Amino acid sequence: MKIFGSTRTLAAAALTLLVSAPLHAQQFDLSPEQPGRLHTQKDPKAASALSADYKFAHAGVLTVAVAVGAPPITAYATDAKTVVGFDPDLAVLVAESLGLKLDLVSVAWADWPLGLTSGKYDAVISNVGVTEQRKQKFDFSTYRQGLHGFYVKKDGPITSIKEPKDVAGLKIIVSSGTIQERILLEWDKQNRASGLKPLELQYYDDDAAADLALQSGRADANFGPNAVQAWQAATLGRKRLVGTVNAGWPLTAEVGVTTRKGSGLAEPIRIAINDLIASGQYQAALARWNLSAEGLSESKVNPPGLPAY
């Protein structure tokens, strides 16, 4: 469930989107000051669940690694160094719930497993999907659904795409070799077996070409990671969401705060997230980055993860 790319390039692209966005589109705060970031009080229940034997990377501090990538999950602020987005916001809320200061460390995606295992970081909050393979080495406290979204032209006629029959006969943009392509190919197979019209998949080298195809009517919908498309929809105001599919279809895929296996941090973090859900602060943080569709009703420790395909 890795959706990260070139960090500085994506940050620059995000700023370009904001500058070029129409006046009616939603504006996101990419300032390093983050005046709208949510904060919370120490959660006695979550804090008391911390093991007295746990050795933090730095005493009194929750050190969290994050691989800066695609907004609105993570991005660099306008100063090109401060990390902003939903995952950093959640890291703040979790640290404060545990009564700890936060040290947010920007890392390359490939480096987080070794850094976490070695104790360099206490946790990773970086869009890490729960898989059965990863659960052999790490614990997970889930905090978001892994969703792919169907987005259509804002004033287009399509109102809902939620199941295989809904894509019959449509022209849908998708990236080659991805989970979403696998889902669409299986849906098309089912539709053909039922005598429905075949699906036409379209592949583009960049987002600009894909958006042009969607706006010109050459494509009916774009199917890809919901978080990235939700950002584009909110900033540019040219497309809208008409349906989501879990990234693990036909199974369920969730994203989790990742900690060392058996470290004892997973349960306190789960308690903290569930109390944030109960208070409404979790939902407010999601809404701040246009990710309400990906919210969970409950955080769990090590739920069933995706198998290897």
Q: What is the pLDDT of residues 157-188, one digit of tens each?
A: 999 999 999 999 999 999 999 889 999 999 99
* Residue 19 clears pLDDT 50, i.e. is over it: no
* Residue 114 clears pLDDT 80, i.e. is over it: yes
Can you tell me the distance from the alpha carbon of 14 to that of 262, in angstroms, rounded to the nearest whole number? 38
Answer yes or no: do 106 and 58 share one domain: yes
Answer yes or no: do 168 and 70 share one domain: no
Structure tokens, 186:
């299986």
Helix then strand then coil, % of the chain, to nearest 5: 35, 20, 45
Answer yes or no: do 225 and 289 share one domain: no
Note the pLDDT of residue 70: 81
Instruction: Tell me the Ramachandran region of residue 30: left when phi exceeds 0, alpha when psi lies from -120 to 50, beta otherwise.
Output: alpha
Note the pLDDT of residue 27: 79
Note the pLDDT of residue 205: 87
Note the pLDDT of residue 224: 94
221-to-25, 151, 265, 293 alpha-carbon distances in Å? 20, 5, 41, 18
- The mean pLDDT of 267-293, rounded to a whole number, is 97
* Residue 117 clears pLDDT 70, i.e. is over it: yes
> Is 300 inside any structural domain?
no
Answer yes or no: do 232 and 96 share one domain: no
- The mean pLDDT of 301-308, rounded to a whole number, is 90
Answer yes or no: do 81 and 135 share one domain: yes
Residue range(s) defining the domain that contains residue 20: 7-146+253-294
CATH number at residue 167: 3.40.190.10
pTM here is: 0.85
Answer yes or no: do 25 and 135 share one domain: yes
Mean pLDDT of the chain: 91
* Residue 266 clears pLDDT 50, i.e. is over it: yes
> Is 304 inside any structural domain?
no
Answer yes or no: do 139 and 152 share one domain: no
Note the pLDDT of residue 309: 57
Answer yes or no: do 62 and 177 share one domain: no
Q: How many domains does one find in the chain?
A: 2
Answer yes or no: do 15 and 137 share one domain: yes
- The mean pLDDT of 149-154, rounded to a whole number, is 97
Total Cβ atoms within 10 A of residue 296 = 17
Percent of the chain with pLDDT over 90: 84
Can you tell me the distance from the alpha carbon of 256 to that of 267, in angstroms, rounded to the nearest whole number? 12
- The mean pLDDT of 25-48, rounded to a whole number, is 93
Answer yes or no: do 35 and 153 share one domain: no
- The mean pLDDT of 132-157, rounded to a whole number, is 96
